Every structure is written in C-alpha cells, then in structure tokens.
C-alpha cells in the first residue's frame, strides 16, 4: 500500500525525538507532507512533556510536517482530525474497533478493558500572523506490552495482530490525506461528527484535571474548535481547551 498523495519519508534507526528532527527539517524548508519515522526514540515525549519511549522496533514513532493555509486559531482541531485517521488505519489493519479519548489518545478494546494504544502530539510555528508549519507526532504501540506504563497496551496484546511499522505508517498516511485535505479546504473547520462517535466517556461523570484544579461534571461533547464541554450541576456548561480527562464515579444501574 502507498499513500494516495506524494509523501517524502525520512527514515532513521534511532533519534532522540522525531518531533525534533521534523522541526529542524521544517525550518530548513521541508515540503508539506514530509514524514519523519524512526524505529527508536531515546528522548521521545508526549503531551505535557511526558516521556514516550519503547524498545527498538516495538512501536511506530513518526512526525508529519504540514503547512496548512488556515488561520492559526483553527489548528486546534488538527490533532483530533489526525486521531480519527489513526483510528481508521488501526481498524483497517486489525479489524478491531478503536475509540478516541480527548484530547489526543487512541484507545482500543472493550469497556472496562480499554487501553491507550496510540497518542497524538501537535506543535506549530508562526511567521507573522500565518502558520509557517505544523508538526503532528504520532506514536503507536505495536508490541512489547511489558515495557508500557499502566493503562497502555499494544496492538498485538489487544488484537493479536502486529502489523509491520512500515505498513502501519503507509496506512495512516493514506487515511491522513483525505482528512487533511478536508481540513484545509474547510479553513480548518472539519466536521467532527466522526470524532464524537468514537469518543470514550461521552455522557459519563468525569474529572478534568488542569494545572490549577480539578473540575467535575458530565462530559457532553466537544465544540467546533475541539474544546471539551463539561456540564457542571452548579456552573452549567464549561469549556476547556486543555487538561487530563479522567473517568469519574459511574452511575448505578
């Protein structure tokens, strides 16, 4: 399988972080639809600076260089759009349903055994009031479940399938292509209905932890900017653009 559009793919055996390599390439003019992929990351990171490392060859580590011609304030939905593409690619290769957890996690399995199998990380650079480039990091755990933190799993452990990293990458790129085209053509206002249909914890009591406090309420969805909407019994509808979403007490039958 090959991506539906031309991608320039830079492959490495080991790097500190594909995000760092992609950022350097982007600054020196790497074209849109450049992908940096490595068999190993020695200093990889996820959201909020959390470490993302795994034994060599056990995961897909990649970062995409994109140059979307949209307003900078529309970039907030691009990680969600990418998450949908990753979920579709995993389903295509494993035949197992995949869900999405706000803001950037890809989950697999049946409740209550759902676990994180992949994550998305976004960064961007501006030139004046325009986007110079956007970086979308994608990490997928393929095998070696014993090396993962609590709450995580691998494709092999969850589905019995361990697709080669190269095949997984090409499948993801083929799914990203139409999703990214729709994102750009809509001015960064892609429809998020498919994301909502995959959302875990939707309609449940949850806690949203940010740097300052914990907010509790019912997770009722996301808005057109990808912000989380939480309904609090006293304060009404609250909107959050960042934080850690945690399942709260479950209602009795």
Residue 125 falls inside a structural domain: yes
Q: Do the bridges between strand 130-141 and strand 115-127 make them parallel or antiparallel, or are there none, so unpaired?
A: antiparallel
This prediction has a pTM of 0.90
Question: For residues 47 and 45, what is the distance between their CA atoms, to the nearest angstrom?
Answer: 7
Q: Is the pLDDT of residue 85 over 80?
A: yes
Q: Which of 210, 202, 175, 197 is nearest to 82 (CA)?
A: 175
28-61 tens-digit pLDDT? 999 999 999 999 988 766 555 556 566 777 899 9
Residues 16 and 66 in one domain: yes
Question: For residues 169 and 156, what is the distance between their CA atoms, to the nearest angstrom?
Answer: 16
Provide the pLDDT confidence category of residue 1 given band limits of 50, 70 and 90: very low
Residues 183 and 215 in one domain: no
Any bridge partners for residue 130, and if so which?
A: 127
The CATH number given to whatever domain includes residue 128 is: 3.30.930.10
How many domains, in total, are found in the chain? 2
Count of Cβ atoms closer than 10 Å to residue 165 Cβ: 21
Question: For residues 161 and 23, what is the distance between their CA atoms, to the nearest angstrom?
Answer: 32
Residues 86 and 131 in one domain: yes
Residues in Cβ contact with 63 at an 8 Å cutoff, skipping those fewer than 6 apart: 18, 19, 21, 22, 35, 36, 135, 136, 137, 138
Residues 176 and 71 in one domain: yes
126-142 tens-digit pLDDT? 999 899 999 999 999 99
Which domain range does residue 141 map to?
Answer: 8-198
Residue 252 falls inside a structural domain: no
Residue 253 falls inside a structural domain: no
Residues 242 and 187 in one domain: no
Residue 3 falls inside a structural domain: no
Provide the pLDDT confidence category of residue 204 given band limits of 50, 70 and 90: very high
């Amino acid at each position: 399988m090959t991506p539906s559009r031309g991608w320039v793919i830079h492959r490495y055996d080991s790097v500190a972080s594909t995000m760092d390599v992609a950022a350097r390439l982007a600054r020196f003019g790497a074209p849109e639809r450049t992908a940096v992929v490595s068999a190993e990351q020695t200093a990889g990171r996820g959201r909020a600076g959390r470490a993302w490392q795994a034994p060599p060859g056990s995961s897909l580590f990649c970062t995409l260089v994109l140059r979307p011609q949209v307003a900078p304030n529309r970039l907030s939905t691009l990680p969600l759009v990418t998450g949908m593409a990753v979920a579709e690619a995993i389903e295509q290769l494993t035949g197992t349903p995949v869900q999405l957890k706000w803001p950037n996690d890809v989950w697999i399995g049946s409740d209550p055994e759902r676990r994180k199998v992949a994550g998305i990380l976004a960064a961007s650079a501006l030139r004046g009031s325009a986007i110079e480039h956007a970086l979308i990091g994608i990490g997928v755990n393929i095998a070696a479940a014993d090396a993962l933190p609590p709450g995580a799993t691998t494709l092999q452990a969850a589905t019995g399938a361990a697709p080669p990293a190269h095949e997984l990458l090409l499948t993801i790129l083929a799914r990203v292509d139409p999703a990214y085209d729709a994102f750009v053509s809509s001015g960064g206002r892609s429809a998020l209905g498919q994301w909502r249909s995959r959302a875990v914890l939707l309609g449940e009591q949850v806690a949203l932890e940010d740097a300052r406090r914990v907010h509790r309420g019912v997770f009722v969805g996301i808005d057109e900017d990808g912000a989380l909407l939480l309904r609090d019994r006293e304060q009404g509808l609250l909107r959050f653009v960042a934080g850690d979403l945690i399942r709260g007490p479950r209602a009795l039958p």
